[in-house]
């Protein structure tokens, strides 16, 4: 199939790339560009070369399908060097998204003309990579060192207006960018190749300062320091030496574990919403949403829909709680404006879409009603019983439960086919994960609606079966069991937190417990003192909310180790007759991770999780799992399932049959 077209128009050679859907830089496209440069150079009828793309976008990057295959010539650096060495000027007419290798192609041209809606960026860092075809070298020459660092290390695109200001493009086209590119070529027949442009002088210390300022964001990642090193080389070395270093750094990253992990997650995220059994199923229309509960979770859920332009009716039991919820929604959306995540017009429109009520009857016209009330079965079934009477026929009823039986809740509403679990993660307006829990009788179009709605509100959906804790919290319960077991046996909760945070998690289990509240599901009337958490709560240590939990907290909520909590833990161990011993960091990490992985294998065998990659996405987007390890199941596979089985056995655990099967399959 022809994926490019070359012609001479008005004395200018025009190469049109046509490789749907995103004009990826496949081997055929790379060869076509080299051939076009050579043909233009040899043709006396052509004064210059214009490169453009058919369809909705310019080249949106490399063909990711080639990453794990033997490299095919010509390589992208060969294309870039051919363009830079062209004896006749080359201009790219840009539109749509100009990303990765596509931007490297554009930067290798003598000039760049872009349509107003164009987005330009180098997103390789998001796959654990860096620009590997002169991208760092050319970008620094066009926009300067500071801007190049920001673009390449963040991976975020900029719009055409910003690109014009920065010097990344030469013309912002007001009409057809192809016509504007021809005009530019006719006026710039002696344009200088990008690699011959000087880099604006700057103190090299700026690079170290940038890495220091972003140390938290780049923690654990190999790509940003490599990008910074390549940009520094652009300042210090001749072009060809710096380009060779960039390529060497790129190839090392591409062969490394972080890029494998991040490429796995890239594919995993795109697979979560693809359920073959839903092909051809039409989602139900969702034009109005009801949310029951104006607490932290309910208000966060409401904000998602409001900012997506979907009207929300918020229902609470009393005026005070409802007023607090409405105020929280307004304050949060205003905060989005202040932080530039939302513009003022969008915020005002979102606010106008909110209706607050104390009456369940206000939900009668909602297409979707989400219960976000207290996490007990009695409360949730009581709400669903009322919804069975109030909701219109065909309305979808959803529970935000994080642990409870969705089928039991659905039965209370009398509409099991219309019922689904929509487990948002706190804060619900920020966290990307939406765990969609399919009940035994959930209708296919209800599931399809949930998946479509997740995309509409910017969430990553993962479909789970109905089981205690579903995917994420069922595995979390295992980690919590292991962590609390270790502290009764002599391990320090503060060391355990440091070990897990050193692995890359944002918080260890005990800091998370304090943040969520140790009193969740606890009451003084029913407390038996049979767990450490109960004893802490009995002592008034409920976590951050009381400035005391596993940690002590100052007035700014900064944690410090607590002698009181340590005494409570030691007393509990003595009462239970639990022997004390020392724990090393390796054992701590193994006990925190591998029993979780074994539980993940059980979820696969039971059909609660559809795939190992779904489990990885739950932990990445819902719990802050370090992306550069690819998620718990990918990390275990990279470690070697057989090694995981062996370490579990050494710790005294009996691995599941499924985990043993995974080890056998891996060989």
Q: How many CB atoms lie within 10 A of CB 403?
A: 16
pLDDT the model gives residue 88 = 97
User: Where do the domains of the chain lie?
Assistant: 4-255, 286-470, 505-576
Instruction: Look at residue 64 and tell me whether its pLDDT is greater than 70.
Output: no
Could you read off the pLDDT of 233-277 as tens digits, one per residue?
Answer: 999 999 999 999 999 999 999 999 999 999 999 999 999 999 999
Could you read off the pLDDT of 629-663 as tens digits, one per residue?
Answer: 999 999 999 999 999 999 999 999 999 999 999 99
Mean pLDDT of the chain: 96
Question: Is domain 286-470 classified as CATH 3.40.50.720?
Answer: yes
Token pair for 234: 């652009």
- Report DSSP state, residue 556: T
CATH topology of domain 505-576: 1.10.1040
Share of the chain above pLDDT 70, in %: 99
pLDDT the model gives residue 2 = 66
Could you read off the pLDDT of 341-361 as tens digits, one per residue?
Answer: 899 999 999 999 999 999 999
Does residue 104 have an active-site annotation? yes
- For the structural domain made of 4-255, what CATH number should be given? 3.90.226.10
Mean of pLDDT values over 14-39: 95
Tell me the pLDDT band of 217, cut-offs 50, 70 and 90. Answer: very high
Token pair for 530: 């049979």
Does residue 555 have an active-site annotation? no
Q: Are 52 and 184 in contact (CB under 8 A)?
A: no
CA distance 484 to 506: 19
Instruction: Look at residue 136 and tell me whether its pLDDT is greater than 90.
Output: yes
Could you read off the pLDDT of 417-465 as tens digits, one per residue?
Answer: 999 999 999 999 999 999 999 999 999 999 999 999 999 999 999 999 9
Instruction: Look at residue 62 and tell me whether its pLDDT is greater than 80.
Output: no
* Beta partners for residue 4, in sequence order: 17
Could you read off the pLDDT of 538-552 as tens digits, one per residue?
Answer: 999 999 999 999 999
Instruction: Look at residue 392 and tell me whether its pLDDT is greater than 80.
Output: yes
Q: Which residue of the set 73, 81, 117, 124 is catalytic?
A: 124
Could you read off the pLDDT of 469-500 as tens digits, one per residue?
Answer: 999 999 999 999 999 999 999 999 999 999 99
Q: Which residue of the set 9, 66, 81, 104 is catalytic?
A: 104
- Give all strands (DSSP E) within 169-298, no chain letters: 171-172, 289-292
Instruction: Look at residue 191 and tell me whether its pLDDT is greater than 90.
Output: no
pTM, entire model: 0.92
What are the DSSP calls for 530-555, one per residue? Answer: -SHHHHHHHTT--BGGGTBSSEEE-T
């Amino acid at each position: 199939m022809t994926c490019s077209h070359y012609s001479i128009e008005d004395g200018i050679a025009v190469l049109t790339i046509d490789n749907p859907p995103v004009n990826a830089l496949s081997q055929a496209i790379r060869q076509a560009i080299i051939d076009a440069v050579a043909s233009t150079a040899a043709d006396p009828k052509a004064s210059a070369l214009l490169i453009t793309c058919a369809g909705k976008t310019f080249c949106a990057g490399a063909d990711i399908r080639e990453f794990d295959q033997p490299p095919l010539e010509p390589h992208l650096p060969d294309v870039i060097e051919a363009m830079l060495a062209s004896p006749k000027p080359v201009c790219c007419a840009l539109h749509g998204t100009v990303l990765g290798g596509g931007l490297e192609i554009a930067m290798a041209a003598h000039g760049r003309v872009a349509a107003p809606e164009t987005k330009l960026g180098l997103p390789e860092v998001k796959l654990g990579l860096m620009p590997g075809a002169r991208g760092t070298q050319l970008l620094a020459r066009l926009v300067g060192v500071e801007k190049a660092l920001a673009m390449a290390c963040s991976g975020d695109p900029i719009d055409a207006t910003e690109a014009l200001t920065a010097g990344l493009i030469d013309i912002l086209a007001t009409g057809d960018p192809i016509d504007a590119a021809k005009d530019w070529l006719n006026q710039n027949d002696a344009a200088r190749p990008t690699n011959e442009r000087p880099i604006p002088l700057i103190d090299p210390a700026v690079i170290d300062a940038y890495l220091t300022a972003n140390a938290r964001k780049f923690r654990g990642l190999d790509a940003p320091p490599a990008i910074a090193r390549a940009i520094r080389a652009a300042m210090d070395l001749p072009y060809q030496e710096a380009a060779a270093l960039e390529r060497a750094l790129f190839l090392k990253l591409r062969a490394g574990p972080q890029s494998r992990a991040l490429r796995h997650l890239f594919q995993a995220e795109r697979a979560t919403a693809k359920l073959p059994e839903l092909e051809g199923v039409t989602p139900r229309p969702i034009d109005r949403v009801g949310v029951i509960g104006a607490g932290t979770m309910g208000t966060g859920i409401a904000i998602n829909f409001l900012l997506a332009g979907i009207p929300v009716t918020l229902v609470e039991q009393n005026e005070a709680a409802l007023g607090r919820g409405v105020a929280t929604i307004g304050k949060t959306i205003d905060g989005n404006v202040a932080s530039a995540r939302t513009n003022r017009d969008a915020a005002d429109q979102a606010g106008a879409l909110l209706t607050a009520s104390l009456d369940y009857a206000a939900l009668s016209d909602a297409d979707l009603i989400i219960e976000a009330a207290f996490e007990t079965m009695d409360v949730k079934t009581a709400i669903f019983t009322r919804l069975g009477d109030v909701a219109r026929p065909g309305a979808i009823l959803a529970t935000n439960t994080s642990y409870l039986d969705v089928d039991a809740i659905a039965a209370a509403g009398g509409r099991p086919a219309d019922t689904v679990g929509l487990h948002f993660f706190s804060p619900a307006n920020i966290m990307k994960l939406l765990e969609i829990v399919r009940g035994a009788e959930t209708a296919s179009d209800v599931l399809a609606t949930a998946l479509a709605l997740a995309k509409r509100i910017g969430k990553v959906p993962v479909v789970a079966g109905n089981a205690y804790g579903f995917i994420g919290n069922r595995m979390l319960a295992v980690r919590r069991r292991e962590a609390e077991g270790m502290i009764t046996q002599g391990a320090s909760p503060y060391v355990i937190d440091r070990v897990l945070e050193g692995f890359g998690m944002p918080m260890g289990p005990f800091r998370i417990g304090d943040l969520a509240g140790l009193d969740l599901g606890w009451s003084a009337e029913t407390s038996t003192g049979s767990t450490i958490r109960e004893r802490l709560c009995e002592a008034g240590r409920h976590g951050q909310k009381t400035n005391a939990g596993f940690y002590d907290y100052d007035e700014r909520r900064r944690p410090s180790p607590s002698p009181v909590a340590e005494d409570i833990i030691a007393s509990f161990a003595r009462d239970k007759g639990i022997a004390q011993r020392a724990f090393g960091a390796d054992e701590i990490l193994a006990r925190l991770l591998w029993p979780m992985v074994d539980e993940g294998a059980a979820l696969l065998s039971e059909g609660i999780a559809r795939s190992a990659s779904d489990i990885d996405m739950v932990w990445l987007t819902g719990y802050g799992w370090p992306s550069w390890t690819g998620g718990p199941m990918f990390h275990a596979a990279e470690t070697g399932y057989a090694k995981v089985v062996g370490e579990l056995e050494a710790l005294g655990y009996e691995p599941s049959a499924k985990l043993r099967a995974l080890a056998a399959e891996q060989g």
